Amino acid sequence: MIFGVWLLVPVNSVQSPGMVFIAELADEWLWGAMFLSSGALHMFAVWVNGLHWWTPFYRAFTSFILVGMWALFAFGFAEFNLWSTGVLVYLALAGLAAKAFMDAMSDCRRRVNQWKDENAGV
């Protein structure tokens, strides 16, 4: 979420050669809006986690989106310089988002099995 706010600051922070791929995909303000909104949605999902039946599915969705966005940034740096620290950082963030996605999917399976057990005799 903070990264999204940083990208929304009205300066051009995607000027480095490693960001050419990212800049070609979307304008910086759009990346900022996407990171800010997906981060806020994911924080909301974690905050309401367990309060409603749909929360693990919502967490899985937001985590999946973040995996893709962080991976695109990693790919952008890798295209310019495979050994850039940006590749490592953004891949690590994509990996953390992937871990959150897998945890959410595990909770989804648990919720579906619970629903099946509750409705088995209906």
Supply the pTM of this predicted model.
0.81
Question: In the chain, what's the furthest Cα-to-Cα distance?
Answer: 61
- The tokens describing 59, both together, are 């967490």
Residue 1 pLDDT greater than 70, yes or no: no
Q: How many other C-beta atoms lie within 10 A of the C-beta of residue 39?
A: 18
CB 77 within 8 A of CB 91: no
Over residues 30-72, the pLDDT tens digits come to 888 988 998 898 888 888 877 888 889 999 999 999 999 999 9
The pLDDT score that the predictor gives to residue 54 is 87
Report helix, strand and coil shares of the chain as percent, to nearest 5.
80, 0, 20
* Position 122 confidence tier, pLDDT thresholds 50, 70, 90: low
Whole-number percent of the chain with pLDDT over 90: 38
Q: What angle do CA 97, 101, 103 make, to 5 degrees?
A: 115
All structural domains of the chain with their residue ranges: 2-117
